[in-house]
């Protein structure tokens, strides 16, 4: 949610909140839930949830995984931010994953999680998530729940309309929120109109490995490209990007970018552009961006810099891009399950415009244009509009769909979810949420076949929903039953970071493929060992490599001598366990790095540079066994000039 741009209305909302909060010391904030609500969210001990929900972390930069309907937090998957809890971004193996053309970037702002799809339906293989600040897209493998790829997006700034995907996971997209000079260079900001451009990047996804590669980049007028969704069914082959600031202002946007009555949704015929590119249209532009891949046999990431990107301008792709006028500062651009309707969420609009794909193609064929922007024709609003949802509420942002022909739109300002019928656009139900919803999710809710049943409202303001925890409150999500005619509130649950978008999928599509261990015989880590007897310490100049094993309940070697002040010591810890859920951890006194948390069959490396002579205990940090506290060892560090030789003990003969 772009809070600033709707400040005025927001103030109004706050006033309402104040009035609301002040109007009673009642303990019941909002409607009481119905008496059957507890049984609908209660997941018996030992039983599993029905859905996995993958919730973007917003400013945490991570991805959180919850069970629905319980709202239980199952896991936080580190993506763009370092995580000392398990060493992500601290270990030698994972540091390359956070490399960018700006150097090592330990944080990002992740807004949208998007599941891979097959035939327009989430298939549970991968999850894509955007890094908003340092433009990147990450891919998480849903059998390991680990980030295995991060690719940077050149010529982009504020990678917000991303990483939405096509129905067959052919492409993920990355549209820039901030227009900037392409290529980026030193120009006066006042030269915005002349020099600043938007870019929409299409990344090809390898169907077997999932690996991404920037296929082409469209250079577009200098607007703010906010959100997007792919067409499906009849509209498969098209992509729809909402954009605001068609005023092209570069200061006081909350006022200056709200001047026009309508901004746009940009319709892009990617299939047509794909054909043009195959014919050689477009040109390579020098660019520098980084592609990082994690190999789960080598248990290591590698980072590679790429040097050019294929760009196309509007006049290269004539007949493949059209602007549809959309009231007013649109945010969400959502396509219904049939693929016929495109819903715009105008943050400041009083209606929800619903565009018709068939009318759009007709208008294109009949050239029903209202001029153009830098060569991109603008279609006439009435010619592409199916109709408007009247009086939906205030501040429509995002729309998801159920399996019964209904749409659900989040209303930030009036703080409610509004249910309406897609084909008639008539509002049939509304439910207040607490408070100020941003995105909402329905399992499969942006796909061809939504599973429906639940809706999660991800609210931006928590206020009085939970016990106070000082000035900072965790964000609140609300689970809503949408199986009947009327929406019913079931549950509030706190979430980590600041969730923006999230997606959910039936549990068995993921759980059946979930990996339990890494096979030790497949461990191809260059410093990995296959058994305790291979454990050793080697000196190479001032580098000391400790090939260490961990297995209940011993770290081998557990005594090391001959390390000197100023040495770079690399602890390569291999967990020899081959049993599910038996990690071992590692740390050493004074370690100015994170811990290691090593899964069965895996090898991880932490670098340590001792600064003073002495004895340094190390130990396993994960309570792995009855003798976990015995899983310890000593490192002797000698003076720089000492002649103590490398010496260590192994566990042989024990």
Residue spans of beta strands (DSSP E) within 413-542: 416-421, 427-432, 437-441, 454-459, 475-481, 488-495, 502-506, 536-540
Residue 63 CB, shortest distance to ligand RUQ, in Å, is: 14
Partner whose binding site includes residue 112, from ligand CUA, ligand RUQ, none (CB under 5 to 8 Å by kind): ligand RUQ
Number of alpha helices (DSSP H) and beta strands (DSSP E) in the chain: 8, 46
Gap between the Cα atoms of 604 and 8, Å rounded: 51
Q: Which string of x and - marks every residue 485-524 that binds ligand RUQ (by CB under 6 A)?
A: ---------------xx-----------------------
Contact footprint for ligand CUA (CB under 6 A)? 550, 584, 620, 622-624, 628, 631
Partner whose binding site includes residue 1, from ligand RUQ, ligand CUA, none (CB under 5 to 8 Å by kind): ligand RUQ
Structure tokens at 520: 């030790």
Residue 280 CB, shortest distance to ligand RUQ, in Å, is: 36
Residue 407 or 631: the one with the smaller Cβ distance to ligand CUA is 631
Residue 516 CB, shortest distance to ligand CUA, in Å, is: 18
- Computed on alpha carbons and rounded to an integer, the radius of gyration of the chain in Å comes to 27
Stretch (H or E) spanning 277: helix 270-278
Partner whose binding site includes residue 331, from ligand CUA, ligand RUQ, none (CB under 5 to 8 Å by kind): ligand RUQ
Residue 129 or 550: the one with the smaller Cβ distance to ligand CUA is 550
Partner whose binding site includes residue 631, from ligand CUA, ligand RUQ, none (CB under 5 to 8 Å by kind): ligand CUA
Gap between the Cα atoms of 358 and 366, Å rounded: 12
Among 439, 465, 564, 584, binds ligand RUQ (CB under 6 A): 439
Classify burial at 248, counting beta carbons within 10 Å of its beta carbon; exposed 0-12, middle 13-18, buried 19 or more. Answer: middle
The footprint of ligand RUQ on residues 392-431 (CB under 6 A) is 397-398
DSSP label at residue 34: P
Residue 644 CB, shortest distance to ligand CUA, in Å, is: 28
In the block, residue with structure tokens 């493929």: 513
**CB neighbours of residue 358 within 10 Å:** 13
177 part of the interface to ligand RUQ, by CB under 6 A: no
Contact 553, 576 (CB under 8 A): no
Residue 192 CB, shortest distance to ligand RUQ, in Å, is: 22
Contact 325, 221 (CB under 8 A): no
Gap between the Cα atoms of 456 and 479, Å rounded: 5
Residue spans of beta strands (DSSP E) within 178-232: 180-181, 196-205, 212-220, 224-230
Residue 132 CB, shortest distance to ligand RUQ, in Å, is: 7
347 part of the interface to ligand RUQ, by CB under 6 A: no
Partner whose binding site includes residue 628, from ligand CUA, ligand RUQ, none (CB under 5 to 8 Å by kind): ligand CUA
Partner whose binding site includes residue 359, from ligand RUQ, ligand CUA, none (CB under 5 to 8 Å by kind): none
Gap between the Cα atoms of 339 and 639, Å rounded: 71
Residue 400 or 622: the one with the smaller Cβ distance to ligand CUA is 622
Q: What is the total count of residues that contact ligand RUQ (CB under 6 A)? A: 13
Residue 453 phi/psi, 5-degree rounding, is 75, -55
Give the residue closest to ligand RUQ by C-beta: 111
Q: Where on the chain is the footprint of ligand RUQ (CB under 6 A)? A: 1-2, 111-112, 160, 227, 331, 397-398, 438-439, 500-501
């Amino acid at each position: 949610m772009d809070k600033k741009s709707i400040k005025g209305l927001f103030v109004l909302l706050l006033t309402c909140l104040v009035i609301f909060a002040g109007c009673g010391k009642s303990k019941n904030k909002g409607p009481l839930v119905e008496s059957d609500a507890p049984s609908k969210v209660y997941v018996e001990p030992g039983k599993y949830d029905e859905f996995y929900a993958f919730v973007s972390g917003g400013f945490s930069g991570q991805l959180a995984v919850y069970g629905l309907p319980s709202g239980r937090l199952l896991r936080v998957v580190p993506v763009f931010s370092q995580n000392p809890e398990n060493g992500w971004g601290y270990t030698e193996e994972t540091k390359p994953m956070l490399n960018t053309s700006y150097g090592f970037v330990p944080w990002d702002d992740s807004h949208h999680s998007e599941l891979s799809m097959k035939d327009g339906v989430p298939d549970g293989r991968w999850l894509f998530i955007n890094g908003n600040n340092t433009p990147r897209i990450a891919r998480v493998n849903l059998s390991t729940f680990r980030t295995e790829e991060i690719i940077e997006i050149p010529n982009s700034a504020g990678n917000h309309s991303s990483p939405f995907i096509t129905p067959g996971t052919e492409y993920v997209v990355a549209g820039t929120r901030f227009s900037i000079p392409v290529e980026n260079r030193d120009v006066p900001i006042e030269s915005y109109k002349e020099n600043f451009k938007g870019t929409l990047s299409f990344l090809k996804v390898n169907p077997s490995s999932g690996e991404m590669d920037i296929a082409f980049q469209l250079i577009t007028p200098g607007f703010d490209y906010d959100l997007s969704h792919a067409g499906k069914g009849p509209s498969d082959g098209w992509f729809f990007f909402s954009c605001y600031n068609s005023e092209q202002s570069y200061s006081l946007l909350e006022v200056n970018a709200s001047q026009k009555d309508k901004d746009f949704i940009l319709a892009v015929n990617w299939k047509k552009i794909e054909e043009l590119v195959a014919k050689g249209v477009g040109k390579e532009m020098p660019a520098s961006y980084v592609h990082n891949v994690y190999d789960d046999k080598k248990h290591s990431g590698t980072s590679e810099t790429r040097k050019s990107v294929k760009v196309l301008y509007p006049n290269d792709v004539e007949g493949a891009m059209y602007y549809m006028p959309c009231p007013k500062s649109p945010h969400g651009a959502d396509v219904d399950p049939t693929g016929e309707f495109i819903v715009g969420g105008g943050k400041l609009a009083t209606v929800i415009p619903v565009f018709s794909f068939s009318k759009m193609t007709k208008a294109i064929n009949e050239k029903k244009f209202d001029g153009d922007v830098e060569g991109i024709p603008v279609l006439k609003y009435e010619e592409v509009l199916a109709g408007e949802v009247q009086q939906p509420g205030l501040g429509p942002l995002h729309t998801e769909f159920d399996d019964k022909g209904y749409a659900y739109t989040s209303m930030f300002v009036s703080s409610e979810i509004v249910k309406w019928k897609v084909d008639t656009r008539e509002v049939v139900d509304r439910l207040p949420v607490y408070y100020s919803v941003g995105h909402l999710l329905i399992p499969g809710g942006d796909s061809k076949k939504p599973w429906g049943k639940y809706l999660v409202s991800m609210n931006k303001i928590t206020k009085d929903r939970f016990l106070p925890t000082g000035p900072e409150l965790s964000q609140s999500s609300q689970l809503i039953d949408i199986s009947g005619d009327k929406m019913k509130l079931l549950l509030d649950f706190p979430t980590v970071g600041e969730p923006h978008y999230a997606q959910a999928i039936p549990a068995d599509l993921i759980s059946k493929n979930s990996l339990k261990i890494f096979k030790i015989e497949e461990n191809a880590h260059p410093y990995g060992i296959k058994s305790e007897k291979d454990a050793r310490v080697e000196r190479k100049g001032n580098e000391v490599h400790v090939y260490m094993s961990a297995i209940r309940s011993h770290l081998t070697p557990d005594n090391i001598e001959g390390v000197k002040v100023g040495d770079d010591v690399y602890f390569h810890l291999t967990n020899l366990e081959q049993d599910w859920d038996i990690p071992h951890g590692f740390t050493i006194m004074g370690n100015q790095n994170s811990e290691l948390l090593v899964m069965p069959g895996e090898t991880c490396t932490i670098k340590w540079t001792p600064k003073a002579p002495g004895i340094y205990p190390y130990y396993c940090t994960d309570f792995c066994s009855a003798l976990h506290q015995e899983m310890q060892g000593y490192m002797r560090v000698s003076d720089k000039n000492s002649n103590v030789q490398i010496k260590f003990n192994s566990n042989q003969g024990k």
